[in-house]
Structures are given as structure tokens and as C-alpha cells.
């Protein structure tokens, strides 16, 4: 019997679209360490970072989401430390 695919969606609002793009560019290169069992897609709409996961097992999904949230926290803290992005002329 094939178990159904698990899904998890996360929408993270940022103060500006520029900051959402910075977060996207910082987090996008992190591929899942396992080749199978879980997939993650990121996208940005206006000032919102969208993250979608699909996984075969709850344990794998939990580990992937937890790892992503740790990275997201680091990105947000770093952006906060450096202040809002400057607009390029």
C-alpha cells in the first residue's frame, strides 16, 4: 500500500519585497541533503516568501522544516543586524 504524500506550506511576510528576495536568495541554494523522500520549493510574491514541502514520511518532513526554520532564523537575524536594504540608484 502506497502512503499519501505529506505536504507543508509556509508563508513568511517580510517588511519589503527586497527583503523577501534577499531571504529567498540566501535560502534557495540549500538543497535537501537526501536525494529522495522530500522536496522543497521556494518562491517570492511581493513581500512574502513561500515555501512548499512534499515528503514521503512525517519524520523526514519534520527534519527538513526544522532545518529550514533554523536557517531562516539566521537570515532574519542577519538582515536585522545590518538594517533594511538600501535602494540602488
Question: Which of 42, 58, 69 is closest to 5 using CA atoms?
Answer: 58
Domain ranges of the chain: 6-82
Predicted TM-score (pTM) of this structure: 0.84
CATH homologous superfamily of 6-82 equals Alpha-D-phosphohexomutase, C-terminal domain (3.30.310.50)
Neighbour-count burial for 16-27, b at 16+ CB within 10 Å, e otherwise: eeebbebbbebb
- pLDDT tens per residue, range 27-78: 987 665 666 788 999 999 999 999 999 999 999 999 999 999 999 999 999 9
d(CA 2, CA 43): 29
d(CA 60, CA 22): 27
Beta pairing, strands 38-45 & 6-13: unpaired
DSSP-based three-state secondary structure for 15: coil
Amino acid at each position: 500500500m502506497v502512503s499519501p504524500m505529506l505536504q507543508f506550506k509556509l508563508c513568511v511576510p517580510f517588511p519589503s519585497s527586497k527583503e523577501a528576495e534577499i531571504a529567498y536568495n540566501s535560502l534557495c541554494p540549500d538543497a535537501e541533503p537526501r536525494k529522495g523522500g522530500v522536496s522543497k520549493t521556494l518562491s517570492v510574491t511581493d513581500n512574502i516568501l513561500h515555501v512548499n514541502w512534499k515528503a514521503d514520511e512525517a519524520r523526514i518532513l519534520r527534519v527538513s522544516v526544522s532545518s529550514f526554520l533554523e536557517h531562516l532564523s539566521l537570515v532574519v537575524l542577519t538582515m536585522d543586524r545590518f538594517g533594511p536594504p538600501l535602494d540602488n540608484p
